[in-house]
Amino acid sequence: MENQVLTPHVYWAQRHRELYLRVELSDVQNPAISITENVLHFKAQGHGAKGDNVYEFHLEFLELVKPEPIYKLTQRQVNITVQKKVSQWWERLTKQEKRPLFLAPDFDRWLDESDAEMELRAKEEERLNKLRLESEGSPEKSFYDTFHTVADMMYFCQMLAVVETINAAIGVTSSPLLPSLIQLLGRNFILFIVIGTMEEMQNKAVVFFVFYLWSIVEIFRYPFYMLTCVDMDWKVVTWLRYTVWIPVYPLGCLAEAVSVIQSIPIFNETGRFSFTLPYPVKIKVRFSFFLQIYLIMIFLGLYINFRHLYKQRRRRYGQKKKKVT
């Protein structure tokens, strides 16, 4: 006798930009949730109306959605958020006109179209008020809106930094390749992945300190290089170039580590960049696992680069041995 497919109770609601689904399953771990060809696939072991079993369902959406569902597990249910590709109000959830028996409206979150429009307008007004306060010089802007203020410039500068690593690789400069490559990959990982892909990270104060500490070293390093190109040696600039990194570089690595630690629960909650290994293993690998490994690599890179910079400074300012007469 074939096993009967069990479906959980699913409740749904919508806004103009999002769909909300609440799956009535408790004690769920490592659910398989995906969207392919505009169909939501759900399968998980949990405790539902038919006891502790494997439950699954499939829903083909009425209109196009983005294929990256975000879900959050609680002890009593699974909450799934799906982004609509086009901001609009749907007359129903599924492409088929007849509603599936396991699907029902979520009256705890239900709004009709006019109420949803009012909520949308209220959020837009709140956003505009925030922008207005920031433009008037809110004292918190420096810390909490750094990313939105200078992100484009940081992206541009970090992409240009590739040239420095290429120059070291092909011998245009005498700098060793490894320290340059470590700094390039590390900063790009923090900027483009940890901060750039997670909106929840972009308003955190640590972003200000990461960007500030990255920049303060370059403020003295690149003027030193430019002066060297025209055979000029300004002693103050030279001293700053070989000295400022001593406190700033470890602080920068510490700020990067704090940003990674703060991002771990966010990546766990959203499931972004996590994946499930294929059959027969079927183990979910969370992206936070790689972030924890990267934390170790941050301080390994700090040791390598600190050692390199220390050798440079000793060559520049090392004491000459006195001849014994």
Delimit the domains of the chain by residue range. 10-112, 140-317
Residue 256 annotated to the active site:
yes
Ranges assigned E (strand) in the chain:
10-14, 18-23, 32-36, 39-48, 51-60, 70-73, 78-83, 103-105, 275-276, 284-285
Specify the fold of 10-112: Immunoglobulin-like (2.60.40)
User: Which residue in 55, 164, 242, 256 is the catalytic one?
Assistant: 256
SS3 93: coil
pLDDT in tens, the chain (325 residues): 356 789 999 999 999 889 999 999 999 988 999 999 999 999 999 999 889 999 999 999 999 999 999 999 998 999 999 999 998 999 999 999 999 999 999 988 888 777 777 777 777 777 766 666 655 554 455 567 788 889 999 999 999 999 989 988 998 877 889 988 999 999 999 999 999 999 889 989 999 999 999 999 889 888 988 888 888 989 999 999 999 999 999 999 999 999 999 999 999 888 889 888 887 877 889 999 999 999 999 999 999 999 989 998 998 887 544 444 4
User: Which residue in 55, 249, 269, 317 is the catalytic one?
Assistant: 249
For the beta carbon of residue 311, count every other beta carbon within 10 angstroms: 12
Q: Environment class of residue 211 by beta-carbon count within 10 Å: exposed (0-12), middle (13-18) or buried (19+)?
A: buried
Residue 136 annotated to the active site:
no
Residue type, 191: L
Is pTM beyond 0.85? Reply is no
pLDDT given at position 90: 94
Task: Output the six-digit token pair for 96.
Answer: 């088929």
- Nearest partner of 212 among 163, 246, 251, 186, judged by Cα: 251
- Cβ contact 58:39 at 8 Å: yes
Q: Is the dihedral of CA 47, 48, 49, 52 positive or negative?
A: negative
- Cβ contact 277:283 at 8 Å: yes
**What does the DSSP assignment read for 199-240?**
TTTTTSTHHHHHHHHHHHHHHHHHHHHHHHHTT---HHHHHH
How far is the C-alpha of 27 from the C-alpha of 21, rounded, in Å? 17
